Amino acid sequence: MFTRQQTKKIRIGNVFIGAGGPILVQSMANTATSDAAKTVEQIKRLTDAGCEIARVAVPDVKAASRLGLIKKKISLPLVADIHFDHNLALMAIDQGVDKIRINPGNIGSKEKVALIVEAAKKARIPIRVGVNAGSLKSAHSIGNGEGAYLKRAKALADAALGYTAYFESLDFFDIVVSLKASDVKTTVEAYKLYAEKKKYPLHLGITEAGSLFRGTIKSSVGLGALLYLGLGDTLRVSLTSDPVEEVKVAYQILQALDLRSTGIDIISCPTCARCEVDIVRVVNELEKKLPVLRAPGNLKKARPLKVAVMGCVVNGPGEAKEADIGIAGSKKAGVLFQNGRITASLKPKMWVPELLKLIKNELKTRS
Ligand code: SF4
């Protein structure tokens, strides 16, 4: 088992990150923040999906002026994402947000950053220093030659270390750090370099990762590599999609490394010429009908319930026997296993209803 890096414990509203605590899942609303009702509605959907920290963009005064109202109507800690204008950050802090995210490099001057730091200190809220390769001047001239990603990663880490040192010189230590690039190698190396020097909690993410399909893969590879190195205290999967999908993907990444649990893990065979049952339909139906898969925040126990759905009696029974609940078989009948023992024989049309019943019963006894 890998060892997680011990970082400083930071409070964000009513949750904590760092110090080896659970890696919290966050997402970002894609509604106009100035439309408080729509934003609240989306954050509530994110909450139901298991999101634990919600971020909103604050592009203008109108958006900043709605933050207090939004915060009142949600249960998650609210993070204000600010670029360019330090006055928006001051307004957001005034509105009672739980954390500010800034990229100090685009706020305009050290003095303006210092004003934000002072206000955050007074309000006792943390600041995420979010360094992004896309907006880092020192990374632009590096080009694409051999080893360029290492140079870019160093530029990112150096920038984050510089900003961290500046915050510390202002006697401010409630810091969370992210070092994002849109490519996996630069991102992983940048986080590694920073973590060798500082122990502030790390917010992980691959920026502009892409569509649901591509972004999920890119994020899984990048975030998976970082998490396996023991790095990361909170994460956001960025997808060009409904943000609820970001939350679902984040939990699956964490579950793959036994770091969090969605409560249930479905193991299913890829199917082949031996398959006599429509396994694709069975698995899709199960996933659709299991509310727990859409509400991973409800169950956070370390060991998920393992459910195996296998298409034949050649390789299927072995896997089904190993699972908590498993089924393997042919169109005549599937052999149902519970905790390694055969308990029934089921015709394919009964697989979904029977598995659902057993899964729900088991989850009830576990919760
Ligand atoms: S379990 Fe059977 S049907 Fe499924 S992939 Fe393996 S051999 Fe093919």
Q: What is the pLDDT of residues 144-189, one digit of tens each?
A: 777 889 999 999 999 999 999 999 999 999 999 999 888 899 999 9
Predicted pLDDT of residue 293: 53
> 309 CA distance to ligand 1 centroid (A)?
10
> 180 CA distance to ligand 1 centroid (A)?
40
What's the 3-state SS for the chain?
A: CCCCCCCCCEEECCEEECCCCCCEEEEECCCCCCCHHHHHHHHHHHHHHCCCEEEEECCCHHHHHCHHHHHHHCCCCEEEEECCCHHHHHHHHHCCCCEEEECHHHCCCHHHHHHHHHHHHHHCCCEEEEEEHHHCHHHHCCCCCCCHHHHHHHHHHHHHHHHHHHHHHCCCCCEEEEEECCCHHHHHHHHHHHHHHCCCCEEECCCCCCEHHHHHHHHHHHHHHHHHCCCCCEEECCCECCHHHHHHHHHHHHHHCCCCCCCEEEEECCCCCCCCCCHHHHHHHHHHHCHHHHCHHHCCCCCCEEEEEECCCCCHHHHHHHCCEEEEECCCCEEEEECCEEEEEECHHHHHHHHHHHHHHHHHHHC
pLDDT band at 75 (very low <50, low <70, confident <90, very high): very high
pLDDT band at 365 (very low <50, low <70, confident <90, very high): confident
Predicted pLDDT of residue 1: 66
What's the 3-state SS for 46-109?
A: HHHHCCCEEEEECCCHHHHHCHHHHHHHCCCCEEEEECCCHHHHHHHHHCCCCEEEECHHHCCC
pLDDT band at 247 (very low <50, low <70, confident <90, very high): very high
> 272 CA distance to ligand 1 centroid (A)?
6
Question: If you take atom 2 of ligand 1, which residue's CA is the nearest one?
Answer: 312
Atom number of ligand 1 nearest to Cα 275 = 3
pLDDT tens digits, residue range 205-219? 998 878 999 999 999
pLDDT tens digits, residue range 112-129? 999 999 999 999 999 999
Taking the CA atoms of 154, 158, 159 and 161 in sequence, report the sign of the dihedral they define: positive
Measure CA of the first residue to CA of the last residue in the chain; give whole Å. Answer: 26
pLDDT band at 2 (very low <50, low <70, confident <90, very high): confident
pLDDT band at 346 (very low <50, low <70, confident <90, very high): very high
> 361 CA distance to ligand 1 centroid (A)?
28
Question: If you take atom 7 of ligand 1, which residue's CA is the nearest one?
Answer: 315
Nearest to 133 by CA among 154, 120, 152: 152
> For the chain, what is the mean pLDDT?
92
Residue 56, pLDDT > 60, answer: yes
Query: Within 6 Å (CB) of ligand 1, which residues are found?
Result: 269-272, 274-275, 310-312, 314-316
pLDDT tens digits, residue range 269-303? 999 999 989 999 999 999 888 865 544 444 455 57
Predicted pLDDT of residue 82: 97
pLDDT tens digits, residue range 100-113? 999 999 999 999 99
Rounded distance between C-alpha atoms, residue 68 and residue 310, angstroms: 51
Pocket test for ligand 1, best of 274, 276, 322 (most atoms within 8 A of CB): 274
> 60 CA distance to ligand 1 centroid (A)?
56
Residue that the structure tokens 């414990």 belong to: 9
